[in-house]
Amino acid sequence: MRSAPPFRANVFVARALAPLALALALAAPARARDQGIAVDAELVFGVDISYSMNRDEQELQRNGYVQALQSQEFLNALKSNALGKVAIAYIQWASYGDQNTVLDWTLVSSPESAKAAAEKLAAAPYRRARRTSISGGVDAAVKMFEGNGFKGARQVIDISGDGPNNDGRPVTEARADAIAKGISVNGLPLEGIRPYLGPADIKDLDIYYEDCVVGGPDSFMIAVHDVKQFVDATRTKLVREIASRPAPKYGLDTAGLVQKAQAREPRVSCMIGENLWGGGRWRN
């Protein structure tokens, strides 16, 4: 009896090994996602687009990040770090169920990549929506870190807004869950830039942010009280978030700007916004 041609044996072996090869092929991307690209920091910028944010405020927010990403101070801080790389994303939030991604995860490691990210951000359309859910913004940002393809030494959520949480779950619960995952929440409250509108506005928004929103390792907030201060405040905050050394090393004067989150009892009610609408929270 003649033996089967050698190529038939190869076919049988290939068929037998096919399931194993498929399993290895599927596992490889998963391992790559788990390991991720090493970066110095992963940052999600979460900005308020509720109806209390008029077009001027929205443009201030956006322009602050656009200019900060291209500033020499930011670029100096970037290249001074161990890896010289950060991953950034930019989302907009309003009510608890309303968030959208303006800039998905982007690697910034050079002036060119920083400029490209800033230009994409600047070109994105504006929109406004109902309610102010800081907790929804934090929760959405936390999910973005999962399987994002990066592995940072620090993970930071950067919240910018002009009012207290008034929709979704309490902001302190969202903050606690973020901190439990090792994520810091920093703040950039816009206070007194536009006229007082009504019950959705509160005095001392900076204190509210410091006591109720900000938290986690090395967390801090910078309050913006004047339109001229916004770009400087955003740049200072961004440099501080990615820098391996204190911000003054990069020519930034942070005196009177940065307020570190303190471990103390809140000086304002963290439920102040939750109780604005007849004692109950709005949920989408």
Domains and CATH numbers, the chain: 35-260 (3.40.50.410)
The three-class DSSP label of residue 150 is strand
pLDDT digits (tens, 9 = 90+) for 179-220: 999 999 999 998 876 655 555 567 789 999 999 999 999 999
The three-class DSSP label of residue 283 is coil
Tell me what the mean pLDDT of segment 63-88 comes to. 95
To which H or E segment does residue 222 belong? strand 220-222
Quote the pLDDT of residue 54: 77
Higher confidence at residue 165 or residue 228?
A: 165
Question: How far is Cα 15 from Cα 269, in angstroms, rounded to an integer?
Answer: 66
Rg (CA), the chain: 23
Higher confidence at residue 106 or residue 196?
A: 106
Instruction: Report residue 156 as tokens.
Output: 């930071």
Question: How far is Cα 223 from Cα 189, in angstroms, rounded to an integer?
Answer: 5
Instruction: Report residue 148 as tokens.
Output: 């994002």
Mean of all residue pLDDT scores within the chain: 80
Nearest C-alpha neighbor of 262 from the set 214, 191, 202: 214
